[in-house]
Amino acid sequence: MTDIERRVVILSLVSKKRENPDLWGYARLRKSILLLQKEEGVPLGFPFGLERERPVSPELQLFLEKMMFENDIEVENTPSGFRRVIGKHGQILLRKNPGIIDRYEEQINRVFEMIRDMSLTDLRVAARNSYLAHPE
């Protein structure tokens, strides 16, 4: 998967909104990306390892930081804390790449429906279980 495809998949997930004020905190986003990769088989290619009983990916963290630096994702301060939203460059990427969105839309929707009302604690458990069920 190319970096553009990775970006568009992640942006497609971040574009999903509901009433949950915890969408998209940093931990929730990272765990949801793990579920996209492990449970739905989206070939994002981020390696994960366990740290303090939680799956982490330094490569994913760096990739998300780069996305924020390049205005794909912006950080918004809300009453519930800092949340990730689509940035100006991210909006352009989504508009220019509908084929990528179409290719992974079902998987993105399934993960979103699974996590949209889930507490962060439950999401952490789901991510850990997914990591353990799908070893690298």
The reported pTM is 0.93
136, 48 Cβ separation under 8 angstroms:
yes
Measured CA distances, 19 to 23, 24, 39, 50, 68 (Å): 8, 11, 24, 31, 23
pLDDT in tens, 70-83: 999 999 998 888 99
Each residue's pLDDT tens digit, 31-55: 999 999 999 999 999 999 988 888 9
**In this predicted structure, what is the pLDDT of residue 110?**
97
Asked if the model's pLDDT at residue 109 lies above 80, the reply is: yes
Q: Where are the domains of the chain?
A: 3-133
